[in-house]
Structure 1
Amino acid sequence: MNTSDSIIDRIYEAALVPEMWSSVLESLSVLAGATGGLLLSARDHKANRTILTDSLREFYDRATSEGWWARNSRGKLLLTLPANEFHSDADHFSPEQMAREPLYRDLLWPMGFGYATATHIQVPNGDTLILSLERPLERGPVERQAVESLTALRPHIARSALLASRLAFERIQSANEAFGLTGLPSAAIDAQGQLIDCNNLFEGRRDQALIGAGNKVRLVNDDANRVLEQCLAAIRAGGPTLRFASRSIALPRTEGGDAAVLHLVPVRGYARDIFTAAAYFIILTPLDGDRLAPIELIQGLFDLTTMEARVARALATGKDIDNTAQSFGISRETVRAHLKNIFSKTGFSRQTDLAAAISLVRTIE
């Protein structure tokens, strides 16, 4: 087996094992005489997820922190070029033009890079994949023979990307079907809140969740929808903000149906697998309108502490702050502090909405 056959085999293996893409990028970098490579997923000219070789980590982190992806003149030009081949930037930027371009002058050259070859691939989830191999400035432009060798491999890369994207979508569909079999309405959305797939039960909960303009999921309750938007912003930002991405959101009773709890479950590997368009699974847990949920259930559904769950349950029965404080032998200020935490975690700002979400009718001790 020659080197080309070995690379092709690993390209197709990467469709099934996304972790292998970094190894594929290493091999392609060798062909291009490059330091390393990156494969990023972009939508509306915004990069959202990236696989890269370790050799480009410092470059990628700096480009991200300084906002270079939004003002990447080289990338924008690439998207206007034919998609069926690799392109060398030296064919489109003269040395004089590079010297005037902030991307080269202020980022690439100071970090020792200067030339690259890249291609772009459209995948079914609506994203554009950009595969770029970064070469040291001192080595000069990527040779024509190397660009042609990479172009010969491009059909295999594109087919592998298509297969990986299709497999990711089928996994999403299977998950929603499984949730449906257990009686749970569910949907998958991307980091912008756009619907990717949902089961029939979710489609039937239009009293709680709507599909609006741009195929975007919107919660009917304004307070709940604000929390959803905050979580989406957190997962888009990544990094430390990801701890705010997973939430349980209370949905109060509506004229068309019972109260429910919406669980936002981040898709495992979203930040690392560029083919996983879904950032979240939305899972609706309807609340029994004829019973008040036990403490343990309230605690689990709303991510509350035990005392917060007890306070929420007491207030949902119609008790006021004074009665609740007396019942638990704590001060009014402590109850108010718990209530503030409860509102923060559930996304509500009114006690009546909280009561509706817990769906009180009678107390179960």
Structure 2
Amino acid sequence: MLNETRTSPDFAGMAYDAALGRRSWQSFVEAVATAFDAVHAVVAPHMPDRGTGRLNGVSYIVSNRACGTFEGQDLLMERAWRLPRGELSVVQKMGADPFIGKSPFYKTTLKDIDIGHAVHVMFATRQGEVGFFCVTRYATQPVFSDDELAVMRSIVGHLARAIEIEDRIGRPAQLEMFEGLPYGLAVLDRSSRVLRMNALAQQLFAAEDGLHMQLDSLHTAQGRLDVEAFLNLPSGPTGSPEPVSLRIDRFFAEQPLSAMISAVPMEWRDPQHQDGTVLLVLSDPDWVVCPTEATMMGLFRLTQAEARFVRMLVTRRSLPKASAALSISPETARRHLKSVFEKTMTHSQSELIHFLVRQPTARLFNPELAPGAMQRFQAAAE
């Protein structure tokens, strides 16, 4: 049962306070764990709605015992994902559950740490994403009562509304700007915990190829990304360490990710993390970056046919492949290329491509044509 207190915890008030920045989400999760006498309590505001059984993205976790419950495929999360959004997935005495109790996941993970009762739920947040909430207990503890489950249903409703409020008021201009850039961008705290990320960073983390979330911190193949070590470097002229370039090796892709870690300007920092946050900038060589057709037509006076040809050339990286993809003759392709050279004042295909991808207006485009991380992520998720 809920831990006895003189007054029932005001979970709704705590959730809205967290959304308004008056308290941290971590303290909210700690209050939930205490109230329900939980082994684990988790809140993840935004995860890809993929049903992968993994915690991806920003998450707040209380673990009263170290374990890897939420790493890798998690059948409990899979079960919650298959239910309507907002509906609790309740598994009591899971050792006796005909599906969970006989699974290798239970025998190799949950049984060893004596997890016996769990409540998981996924609720709608942004388009294509879900929020995640869960509470677990040891097998030796009482099952969750009907009253406790009713309180959890109430918590989920308030969580969804609080996260919606936070999205509306929480640095919206910065987040929109992050989404407009052709890079994976993530804000990390001193403990390597991801505080904010854009969609491209989320896709890279979800692909789990070179970068992955382990509980609530970001890891590479070499271990936890050491933000603390970066922040302890000598300060530069700006009062913060100079940006550092990183190579992030991958298992399934031929080329590594390129990354840069830089201190976040003071005015951008979360009020709860003023002592040190960094911006991680990620670039995948498989991503295709180029200005839009309309942009090239406006900046360089290209015709629509020339602009379409240029984008295909950037994608295919060769004149024959670009002309074949557009079903135009080699002569027409060469004529387009000559005209584009004149209008952009470039002299070779490589110079043209480098010129275009360096444009401030360059954007990631048409991921279906790029055999990179996006497709790997989609295939893994499906």
- Specify the TM-score bucket, using the shorter chain as the normaliser: 0.3 to 0.5
TM-score by length of 1: 0.48
Q: Which has the higher helix share?
A: 1
